Amino acid sequence: MKAKIHPEYNNDCVVTCACGNTFTTGSTMKEIRVELCNKCHPFYTGKQKFVDTARRVEKFEEKAAKIATATAARKITKAKQADRAAKKTAKKAAKA
């Protein structure tokens, strides 16, 4: 392994967030400044808002409803076909 090619590792790196939160971690940098941390990020604070642009959710729900009704209609027609086939076989059995 070559000597003097690795950066110096600092165990006392101070991370400072834009909200004012600070914590210490290890890094090759002495100080890190970030815009979001676990104290102010919407995902971690529970204040996350889902912005539905161009009605994406509603369009998906409409497609799902159409598929569900089409599937139900296919099941009904298959049941009707089975009933017709059963009646035909019953008529043939009665004639014989």
What sign does the CA torsion over 21, 25, 29, 34 have?
Answer: negative
Q: Domain 1-49 adopts which CATH fold?
A: Rhinovirus 14, subunit 4 (4.10.80)
List pLDDT tens digits, range 53-88. Answer: 678 888 889 999 998 888 888 888 888 888 888 888
Query: Whose CA is closest to 96, among 81, 88, 85?
Result: 88
b/e sequence 12-46, b meaning 16+ C-beta within 10 Å: ebebebeeeeeeeeebeeeeeeeeebeebeeeeee
Domain residue spans of the chain: 1-49, 51-96
Is the pTM for the entire model greater than 0.85? no
List pLDDT tens digits, range 5-23. Answer: 989 999 999 999 999 999 9
